[in-house]
Copies of this chain bind each other. A is one copy, B any other.
């Protein structure tokens, strides 16, 4: 009889949702020492790890699991994260912001404030080239939506080539070749040692001056000082940032007032208990049947 502990600020909601699925043999416990299974925010699971002496499987309700893959933490259990549920959120966010910029929405609002019938031409996504830095579950969804908008898609990954909607893949040393000619660059990279400062000065210089950079991955992948400089010098069209090296961003950080930089405070995707519960239920049946779980995190890779 597997015993589950809920370590989430939404734990009442999770309990209701999981109970209504009437999973066989599952029992809820509140004492960490009794729990074989845990579900919750990565930080909350990490804080409970020393007391989770029976832990065999933990389900993170987020995609990013940095607190749990930190080398100082135990790794004697199976960690699964949330995948396949954020692609739609990320698509809405990315294409929403690209359209916000192409359609000059702020200019239109300013013209309205001055009662000016101002017909500056809009841009279009059609025929543009988007580059995806990281093509996993979210990147695959982005590539598909980009195709619906008539775009060309380039993808940079370590080695995988999952999505068939990516026109051209780049790996390894081809990072600057990947950057050349991009109209839009979207980073979906997780925080790992290998992704630190991948978007650095050289990368930013390789992008066309009109390019738009969107970061929905993690803040560590960006050289923030180089990004500010590129925007201030007009070497980059715009940046839309949902994630940052330090969150919340300190009040004195130059980002707050950098021109053509849009901040969205880590709101691009929302972890809905309804979505996560589906993943948990699917994996719970596999767990009971002794099958390998889905969405297993590789502690070494960090995702």
Query: Restricting to A257-303, which residues have a CB under 8 Å from any CB of B?
Result: 262-268, 270
Of chain B, the residue at the smallest CB distance from A91 is B149
- Is B99's CB under 8 angstroms from A95's CB? yes
Of chain B, the residue at the smallest CB distance from A120 is B267
- Is B251's CB under 8 angstroms from A109's CB? no
Quick check: is A77 within 8 A (CB to CB) of the other chain? no
Given A256-B115, A267-B120, verify A103-B108 contact (CB < 8 Å).
Answer: no
**Copies of this protein in the complex:** 2
- Is A121's CB under 8 angstroms from B267's CB? yes
| Chain A interface, number of residues (Cβ within 8 angstroms) | 45
A-B contacts, 13 of them at CB < 8 A, read A92-B99, A92-B102, A92-B126, A93-B103, A97-B103, A100-B105, A108-B263, A108-B264, A108-B267, A115-B251, A117-B247, A117-B248, A122-B267
Known A92-B149, A93-B103; 6 more pairs at CB < 8 Å: A88-B124, A88-B150, A92-B125, A111-B263, A117-B248, A122-B267
Taking beta carbons and an 8 Å cutoff, which residues of A are in contact with B?
88-89, 91-93, 95-97, 99-100, 102-103, 105-106, 108-109, 111-112, 115, 117-122, 124-126, 145, 148-150, 247-249, 251, 256, 262-268, 270
